[in-house]
Amino acid sequence: MATYNYVAKDALGKVITGTSEAENEQILVRRLREKGYWVQKVNAARAAAPRQAQAAASGGSMAAFSRVSGRDLAIFCRQFATMIDAGVSLIRCLAVLEEQSGSARLRQIIREIQGAVESGETLSRALTRWPRVFSRLFVGLVRAGEVGGVLDETLNRLATFMEENERLRRKVKSAMTYPALVLAFATIVVIGLVTFILPQFVKVFTDLGIDKDLPKPTQILIQISNFLTTKWYMVIGGALLFVVVFSQYTRTRIGKRHWDWARLKFPIFGKLNHKIAIARFSRTLSTLLASGVPILQALETVAGAVDNEIIGDAVMAARAAIREGEQIGDPLQRSGMFPPMVVQMVAIGEETGSLDAMLSKIADFYETEVDATLASLTAAIEPLLIVCLGFVVGFIVISMFMPLMHAISSLQSGDSMGAGGEG
């Protein structure tokens, strides 16, 4: 299909400009008229100039070494939608967004996108040059907005989706920040006691001549201290090796699948990860369907957006079943990964023709559940960490003082025996 630039007016007289793919100009004009637009001009888009295409490709390769935050992308979508809705041309929107963006990386990418669009590419095709910045969900929604002539509505939905996703991500991070800090502080305290304080006590034990018959807890603690002070490079090297091997393994397909399965089965945290995945599935699919994306294409995008291979496989199995003529609720139920409430609400939404609205309600419910789970989890972890820290520190302190108490009691008993002998 060829790509065309068009200028049209809607029922209110607002000028609308955009690009769209069609078999020929007549089909595009007919499609725009069916949407209630009065077509003023249709021109075939020019092919991208080699130098501009080369520049865009180089911009994509540079983007691989940097990252654009979700917050910057959400602001980009919201401002883009506002200007498109106000009738500003696509090229002018990109120029303004380049000036307003607070991210230097995003400004450079917008500049490259503007050049590609000016050369005749569609916006969605230009976005595909930066797959690490603009996900398949992002590109798919923009393409749906271009084809349907509702780019402003699609960008608004995309901005809302990204804002909700970023809000959920921030809540999870903030809930885990305090326990992580407490755990890090506890680790530093324990290492300091074992590697610096305990050796000083061992010297005292040697001076007192009681280092040969130490209590078992003290012996265990001294062995740990000796290992940490003499074999510290093995501890650090082992930890680094584990991190590297684990990171490389989880990047493989089978490793990612094993890790995603474990994340769903972890005690306490498994249910939280499951709820987050269900909320992301529902919100993503709702946004895609509301934007006019066909359900088979939407499910394929959702399978990659949930960031969990196990649930992604269940979604792809549902997609295959729908292609064979089944309803979406049945394969979701067979997978065992979706709670009965989700399956029933999806089935009702499909029967009533309001699947996108029902999925939005499911997403709202599970996001609320995630908030409640995070609050209760944080409230339970804080005292648990404090108790564990107190137990470890108490064990160390008691183990260090047990030989001294034994020595003092031995001296007292020796003095009392000496006093009895003199009498």
Q: What average pLDDT score do residues 373-387 get?
A: 81
pLDDT of residue 418: 52
Instruction: Say which CATH superfamily domain 2-147 falls into.
Output: Type II secretion system (T2SS), domain F (1.20.81.30)
Higher-confidence residue: 417 or 182? 182
pLDDT of residue 56: 43
Question: How far is it, in rounded angstroms, from Cα 118 to Cα 111?
Answer: 11
For the stretch 101-129, pLDDT in tens is: 878 888 889 888 888 888 888 888 888 88
Of 264, 260, 262, 281, the residue nearest 343 (C-alpha): 281
pLDDT of residue 64: 44
Task: Write out the E strands in 114-246.
Answer: none
Tokens read off for 203 = 């010297």
Backbone φ and ψ of 2, nearest 5°: -90, 160
Instruction: Say which CATH superfamily domain 148-413 falls into.
Output: Type II secretion system (T2SS), domain F (1.20.81.30)
For the stretch 46-93, pLDDT in tens is: 544 444 444 444 444 444 455 778 788 888 888 888 888 888 888 888
pLDDT of residue 385: 82
For the stretch 143-191, pLDDT in tens is: 888 877 778 888 888 888 888 878 878 887 887 787 788 888 888 888 8
Going by pLDDT thresholds of 50, 70 and 90, the confidence category of residue 245 is: very high
Most confident of 84-93, 292-301, 343-352, 411-420: 343-352
Higher-confidence residue: 406 or 320? 320
Torsion of CA 220, 223, 224, 226, to 10 degrees: 160
Same fold, 2-147 and 148-413: yes
Q: Poorest-confidence range of 83-87, 261-265, 311-315?
A: 83-87
Burial 261-280 (b: 16+ CB within 10 A, else e): eebbeeeeeeebbbbbbbbb
Looking at residue 55, its amino acid is A
pLDDT of residue 2: 67
> Contacts by 58-61 with C-beta closer than 8 Å and gap 24+?
59/108, 59/109, 59/111, 59/112, 59/129, 59/130, 60/112, 60/129, 60/130, 60/131
pLDDT over 90 at 240, yes or no: yes
Q: For the chain, which residues make up each domain, given as ranges?
A: 2-147, 148-413
Averaged pLDDT of the chain: 81
Backbone φ and ψ of 135, nearest 5°: -70, 170
